[in-house]
Amino acid sequence: MRPDVQPELHSEPQPEWRAGPRRQPHAQSRSSEPAGPARPAAEGLSIAGVARQAGVSVATVSRVLNAHENVRPATRDKVLAAIDASGYRVNELARNLRTAESRLLLTMVPDFGNPFYAEIVRGIDSVARQHGYFMLLCDTGADAGRERSYFDLLRRRRADGAICLDPATIQQALGEASSALPWVACCEFEPSMGVPYVGIDNYRAAGDAVRHLLARGHRRIALINSDIDYLYARQRQQGYLDALTEAGITPLEDWRMNLNSLDYEAGASAAAVLMEPSHPKNAAPTAIFAVSDTLATGVLHGLRSIGKRVPDDIAVVGFDDISIASQVDPPLTTIAQPMRELGETAARLLLQRLANPLASVPGVLLPHRLVIRGST
Amino acid sequence: MRPDVQPELHSEPQPEWRAGPRRQPHAQSRSSEPAGPARPAAEGLSIAGVARQAGVSVATVSRVLNAHENVRPATRDKVLAAIDASGYRVNELARNLRTAESRLLLTMVPDFGNPFYAEIVRGIDSVARQHGYFMLLCDTGADAGRERSYFDLLRRRRADGAICLDPATIQQALGEASSALPWVACCEFEPSMGVPYVGIDNYRAAGDAVRHLLARGHRRIALINSDIDYLYARQRQQGYLDALTEAGITPLEDWRMNLNSLDYEAGASAAAVLMEPSHPKNAAPTAIFAVSDTLATGVLHGLRSIGKRVPDDIAVVGFDDISIASQVDPPLTTIAQPMRELGETAARLLLQRLANPLASVPGVLLPHRLVIRGST
DNA sequence: GTGAAAGCGCTAACAG
DNA sequence: CTGTTAGCGCTTTCAC
């Protein structure tokens, strides 16, 4: 019903952490601490110290800190002065223990070397910050153990919620009854497992890529896919197979490769393998559909090194439309994912879930788009 | 003196967060909670609840949780059983408040879309994890306000330490007397400001790149640099200028460009500008040295689009040796930075600083390497 | 308006 | 070996 999620308090966009009115006064603190020389500015200073210096109670300091109404201006100023003078900073640990929230959101990616995640993460980050949350990124390395330990951060209340872009986690998560945890899946998800998710229609997207190649006259189309354990890999494979079948083509098993990496190198060597002359003459693919632009970029490199020209000898289609896609030679035809929106939506779903843990949050599919460039 | 840093306790590599002996017993918890149906497994359960269920005191539970010695096996088993049955998880917030440490390390990058940071961050992450710390990544977007708020996470004890790869922060930080905060600088640093740092010798590295071009016979060498506010930009520019001068060449002002972005696109358009026919015939550069591989990759694309061939018409040298460098056409000659080691060293310096806040931690410079590929 | 006091969930003495 | 107890620094009734 609500046009946007408004977690309890903190509804206005605030650039800084809980930076209510109370921050203004001591911005630009001239660090006028009376302490010794190299003394780490007001190390173990607590609210009690400030209270003493200001000649008030801790309750009053707390009220000032939290911009509560019932404080006389004079008192407030006294407190502010004491805070300023002492260089006091709230111990967020204590505050969080009291309020039982950390205002931290976690985003887990399987590999932050993959540029695909960058824009998604930016989308998450911007929405989170708008709602007074910090977003912190973790690299799971697609490792179940590490994933689990990050989920533990959630269980142990060190973060309020999480967004997981990591396929492997999904499987892990399943066994952990983690659907009770405040997290959402992004890009890779299992619709059946009761966790809110956002992604694209991988089946249709793959079909679109293949149909584009078909329209260009290709009939022997190869698929360079990632590990078939991933849901998106299965969906894209099915889209590829069905598109071919619908065109009256029987997909050859030899045209398909499954890689356990999305690195450029993986794509390069896969291309070389695919083009091996061991293939029956009339069965060698004339086009390659790779399920990620990183892979496709590698494919371009691999084809180049075995003397094949793109798109004359062989066409290439990628997936994602990351920024490198338009820079390589030839620029990649690819399926664009709305990365920014994917991230923003994921963040919004999570915020929604935090605001109302009971409401069932829907899964959402965002539109993709075929971007035609020089590689086809 | 010490071969390696060993923060107080937690010295052995532990794959999971404080995952002492206590974890084993309840791995694979069969989630046998007696609670209602959709009840979020043991939401607000505390150590006291476990103690009650196990018929022991909270102290004993705490001991079991922390794998202390003095607990009779029978008692320990009782507690473990209660923990297992209830699905209890430590509230890390409370624990941290008590122990006054969060076991969290922050890494700030100006832009996690830049692949240069990926390997560095992995290096940090692996060292951090080996020492029982979590590493969380923040994107400052090269924005001073955001940088400041992340530093606040430190001040407010939400993280134990930070590694900053963000040039802009350095300036910000200076004004904040933040040299007292537990952080180290990586890649971009101000040696004079008393913050431990790790990086490379940018001056020599740039010189090496230019000397390589000189050796190839080039005399009109352009420099595509980032914003000169950055220390590394100034250092590399100086290395470039001096190398040219030493070779008896007077560097032309027209050969130098300063960009406020490291994106591919920025490199592409810079290349186009640089090659404009407005240049006097005999002054057009025959080689371009770009201060990052992303820029150089864009340059390749830009040159291609105006019909220039690399390296025949013009040579290109990049910087960093990120993974894309070897994939583009032609593969980039570049200055390789030891990214992994940079990250690992930064993490070690930070850990050292945390273990002994008083000891002065040195700045360290790591070796770079010229990698010659097809673009020259 | 302001203060006193009770915890948030945990760890660490200190007793027994 | 195990239990009791005193806080960690903060927020929040509830009085005054």
Helix A92-99, helix B92-99: angle, nearest 10:
150
pLDDT, residue B369, reads: 98
Distance of A78 CA from D14 C1′ (whole Å): 25
Q: Which long-range contacts (CB under 8 A, 24 or more apart) does A311-316 make?
A: A311/A374, A311/A375, A311/A376, A314/A275, A314/A285, A314/A286, A314/A287, A314/A288, A315/A213, A315/A216, A315/A218, A315/A286, A315/A287, A315/A288, A315/A375, A315/A376, A316/A287, A316/A288, A316/A289, A316/A290, A316/A375, A316/A376
Nucleotide nearest to B58 (CA to C1'): D3
CB A226 within 8 A of CB A292: yes
pLDDT, residue B28, reads: 27
Nucleotide nearest to A70 (CA to C1'): C1
Residue with tokens 């640099």: B225
Residues of chain B numbered 22-81 and touching chain A (CB < 8 Å) = 31, 38, 40-41
Residues in chain A: 376
CA B174 to centroid of chain Cα atoms: 20
The 10 Å CB-count burial string (b at 16+, else e) for A322-346 is bbbbbbbbbbbbbbbbbbebbbbbb
Residues in chain B: 376
Nucleotide nearest to B71 (CA to C1'): D1
CB-based contact B17 A139, cutoff 8 Å = no
CA distance B296 to B267: 6
Phi and psi, residue A324, nearest 5°: -70, -20
CA distance A121 to A245: 37
CA distance A226 to A291: 7
CB-based contact B93 A92, cutoff 8 Å = no
A134-168: per-residue pLDDT in tens? 999 999 988 888 888 888 888 888 899 999 998 66
pLDDT, residue B177, reads: 61
CA B41 to centroid of chain Cα atoms: 36
Closest Cα in chain B to A121: B112
Q: Which two tokens stand for residue B167?
A: 């040039």
CB A45 within 8 A of CB A82: no
Closest Cα in chain B to A96: B93
CB A333 within 8 A of CB A376: yes
CA distance B23 to A327: 49
Residue with tokens 């990591």: A166
Task: Report DSSP letters for A321-368, one per residue.
Answer: --GGGGTSSSPPEEEEP-HHHHHHHHHHHHHHHHH-SSSPPPPEEE--
Of B115, B148, B327, the CB nearest to A298: B327
pLDDT, residue B38, reads: 26
pLDDT, residue B128, reads: 94
Strand C contacted by A99 CB (< 7 A): no
The 10 Å CB-count burial string (b at 16+, else e) for B170-179 is bebbeebebe
CB-based contact A89 B180, cutoff 8 Å = no
Closest to B227 measured CA to CA, from B263, B268, B258: B258
Q: What is the pLDDT along chain B (376 residues), one digit of tens a residue?
A: 333 333 332 322 232 223 232 222 222 222 222 222 222 334 568 999 999 999 999 999 999 998 888 899 999 999 999 999 888 888 888 998 888 889 899 999 999 889 999 999 999 999 999 888 999 999 998 888 888 888 888 888 889 999 999 866 676 666 666 678 899 999 998 777 778 999 999 999 999 999 999 999 999 999 999 999 889 999 999 999 999 999 999 999 999 999 999 999 999 999 999 998 776 666 789 999 999 999 999 999 999 999 999 999 999 999 999 999 999 999 999 999 999 999 999 999 999 999 888 788 788 999 999 999 999 9
How many Cβ atoms are within 10 Å of B281's Cβ, its own excluded? 6
Q: Which two tokens stand for residue A102?
A: 């950390």
Q: Which of chain B's residues have a Cβ under 8 Å away from the Cβ of A176? A: 31
Q: Which long-range contacts (CB under 8 A, 24 or more apart) does B73-78 make?
A: B78/B54
CA distance B263 to B267: 7
pLDDT, residue B173, reads: 64
Q: Which of A137, A148, A154 to mutate to test the interface with B (most CBs of B within 10 A)?
A: A137
Q: What's the Rg (C-alpha) of chain B?
A: 27
Q: Which of A158, A263, A310, A316 to mutate to test the interface with B (most CBs of B within 10 A)?
A: A158
Of B40, B97, B136, the CB nearest to A97: B97
Q: What is the pLDDT along chain A (376 residues), one digit of tens a residue?
A: 233 332 322 322 232 223 232 222 222 222 222 222 222 334 568 999 999 999 999 999 999 998 888 899 999 999 999 999 888 888 888 998 888 888 899 999 999 889 999 999 999 999 999 888 999 999 998 888 888 888 888 888 889 999 999 866 676 666 666 677 899 999 998 777 778 999 999 999 999 999 999 999 999 999 999 999 889 999 999 999 999 999 999 999 999 999 999 999 999 999 999 998 776 666 789 999 999 999 999 999 999 999 999 999 999 999 999 999 999 999 999 999 999 999 999 999 999 999 888 788 788 999 999 999 999 9
pLDDT, residue B45, reads: 83
> Is B92 touching A (CB cutoff 8 A)?
yes
Residue with tokens 């100023």: A77
CB A23 within 8 A of CB A16: yes
What are the distances in angstroms from CA A58 to CA A21, A62, A64, B247, B280? 19, 6, 10, 69, 73
Closest Cα in chain A to B327: A301
Q: Which of chain B's residues have a Cβ under 8 Å away from the Cβ of A88? A: none
CB-based contact B157 A91, cutoff 8 Å = yes
Distance from CA of A47 to the nearest CA of B (A): 12
CA distance B143 to A164: 26
CB B210 within 8 A of CB B242: no
Q: Which two tokens stand for residue B149?
A: 């708020």
CB-based contact B327 A357, cutoff 8 Å = no
Strand D contacted by B67 CB (< 7 A): no
Nucleotide nearest to A73 (CA to C1'): C1
CB-based contact A328 B328, cutoff 8 Å = yes
Strand D contacted by A100 CB (< 7 A): no
CA distance B132 to B104: 9
Domains located in chain A, CATH noted: 1-16+38-100 (1.10.260.40), 102-200+340-367 (3.40.50.2300), 202-336 (3.40.50.2300)
CA distance A287 to A220: 7
Distance from CA of B245 to the nearest CA of A (A): 34
Q: Which two tokens stand for residue B105?
A: 């390390």
Strand C contacted by A59 CB (< 7 A): yes
Phi and psi, residue B138, nearest 5°: -125, 140
CB-based contact B31 A177, cutoff 8 Å = yes
B96-110: per-residue pLDDT in tens? 888 888 989 999 999
One-letter-per-residue 3-state SS of B295-317: HHHHHHHHHHHCCCCCCCCCEEE
CB-based contact B31 A148, cutoff 8 Å = no
pLDDT, residue B155, reads: 85
CB-based contact B152 A31, cutoff 8 Å = no
Of A15, A136, A297, the CB nearest to B138: A136
Residue with tokens 């505390």: B46
